[in-house]
Structure 1
Amino acid sequence: MDSKKIESWIEGKGKGLKAKPGFEVSITTREEPDSNPIVKAIDMSEIKGEIARLFKENGYKVVKNGDINLDVYVSVKTTTTFEDTPTYSALGKVYIKALNRKNEQIAEITQSSFQQGYTLETVTLSALKEAAQKAAEKMVIQLGVSNHTQEEKSKSIEILFLGFRDYKQYEQIDDILNKVIPASIAKRVIGSGNRASFFAVSNTTPDKLAKLISLELIKGLPFKLKDVYTDKIVFGMEQ
């Protein structure tokens, strides 16, 4: 068994791989019906762009049809005071509702911003953009907590193979594991005595994972399930 050859192959396997991208989000903007009509004069692409910028900066991809859809509702209330020169005040409100692909609500945020100035449209846009920025920042945090909670449900597990013969067989095992638990092999370790460990992160139970791997192994590799533990699955070469 050429351990150096396998180790070299493992190193090469990791070259050119990129980190898993963040979730993809799509953004839809709407006007609240009770808003001041001035909102219709606002270019909604600027509000959408402000939210998109915050999400991109935090590792999300903004696409037309994402894993998460952000329904954005905007409204504004204005007042005018007359002294020497008219002064406009705008209270902009942005409500963001996050939906998953099943159209289930997973988070919601409302933020407001108050601005004053001498041009109604400018003041309104400024208030809405700041409210959008604040709402997007809080939504990123809220979704991050949600994603972190989901990741905590996934557990690290070692998948140990004993007695494999050569590099080709090792590569076949690796391909099978990548098929059963795609993008989840975090680490590969070659041990003495022709043994190899694959460390994966999966929210599938060890028993179910062992069965899935076994179903693939019987198609062409002579390995048999030996033991299943809470944090380890052991396969051995059939005698």
Structure 2
Amino acid sequence: MTDESTKLTDDRSEARTPARPSSARAGWLVPAALLALSAVPVAAGAVRMTGLLGGAAITPENARFFAAPLPVVLHIMSVSLYSLLGAFQFAPGFRRRRPGWHRVAGRLLVPSGLVAALTGLWMTLFYPRPEGDGDLVTCFRLVFGAAMVLSLVLGLAAIRRRDIAGHQAWMMRGYAIGLGAGTQALTHLPWFLIIGTPGEFPRALLMGAGWVINLAVVEWIIRRRSAPIRRVPSPGRTDATATGR
């Protein structure tokens, strides 16, 4: 048997070898973490929806939602769909087994993400400010809400011109911003436990930190994926041979 036929046989055997269970489980670590992070805004939204639909008592804290319920209802529904459905886009094994999943899910994710971002911007601009919110947190909400809309639009434009890498990068940025509420719960928790309720300025910084942390992680992933692979010369090969000179 020649070297070429041996290599072909080995390749076919490798292709038939099922994925290791440990590798399959590892592929679900990121989606599981994202689902856990999504549980915070989804649970908070469910509580808000229950209050609105169940006729909860109107208080100064929720009066703005009862006065104009449509934006907040659309926001809760779209954010819940976007955060939960989007987590499965980070499961490579699941996407390989279901090739049509990514496209079908994308047709739901882009509209739901846009609705979530646009209703968030509307509420920031037209709802009365809740107690504890100042100009800085309002500015953060407007900046990151607009950035989410821009990311989704650029991601959609990228896939229409068959730019897969650009599409993935922009959609990941949009998802990172949309999941900011989950990370904000984590940035607020130590402050609540150690100091108590944050004031206006610390609250704004803790809110902003949630979005910044998510985007920083995503940018690290994007740059790691796009980094060129450096080939290490095999033992016994000279630099000239390794570089093809």
TM-score, normalisation: structure 2 = 0.26
Higher helix fraction (1 or 2): 2
TM norm structure 1: 0.26
Richer in strand (by share): 1
Name which one, 1 or 2, has greater alpha-carbon Rg. Answer: 1
